[in-house]
Amino acid sequence: MNLKIKDIKSSDGIIRIHQSKGNKDRIVSLPDKLLATLRHYYQAFKPKEYLFEGEKGGKYSERSVQLILKKALIKANVQSEGSVHTLRHSYATHLIQSGIDIRIVKELLGHENIKTTMIYTHITDIDKQKTPSPLDFL
């Protein structure tokens, strides 16, 4: 909601996030695919200050973002409940499942304590089945 156009640093491949969860500033990577999508979005909607603006300009309210997500879930025929925080949880979980070091995930999420990040390290039965035994390498 607070992301401004000037926070997108395409030449550096980063996004500067100001005063996000926990009122912390941080930097996250800007993948090429996301940059291409954001450029199309910018061309189509021509926002002025905030990257995502309401119909009358200015930033979206929390409630508007929640409603947009709810409509997207319905349109995508997602059966389970979801929230904006679910997206954050999914991001962290996918990073960890992809093998990203927990300390990096901690920094990306802006956590003070690694114990907070450890919440995202839950392991599913499928993950357990995929994990090879050290004996497999003998």
Question: What does the pLDDT profile of the chain (138 residues) look like in tens digits?
Answer: 889 999 999 999 999 988 776 677 888 899 999 999 999 999 999 999 999 998 888 988 889 999 999 999 999 999 888 898 888 888 888 888 888 999 999 988 888 899 988 887 776 555 666 777 777 776
- Buried b / exposed e along 16-52 (16+ C-beta atoms within 10 A): bbeebeeeeeeeeebeeeeeeebeeeeeeeebeebbb
pLDDT given for residue 135 in this prediction: 74
Helix (H, G, I), strand (E, B) or coil at 26: strand
Indicate the DSSP class of residue 4.
B
Among candidate residues 49, 39, 36, the one with its CA nearest the CA of residue 6 = 49
Neighbours of 109 (CB within 10 A): 21
Could you tell me which residues are beta bridge partners of residue 15? Answer: 8, 28
Residue 122's contacts (CB-CB under 8 Å, 6 or more residues apart) are 93
Q: In whole angstroms, what is the distance from residue 52 CA to residue 59 CA? A: 7
In this prediction the pTM is 0.72
pLDDT given for residue 31 in this prediction: 93
pLDDT given for residue 21 in this prediction: 65
Look at strands 8-9 and 26-29 and give their pairing. unpaired
Among candidate residues 70, 83, 85, the one with its CA nearest the CA of residue 20 = 85
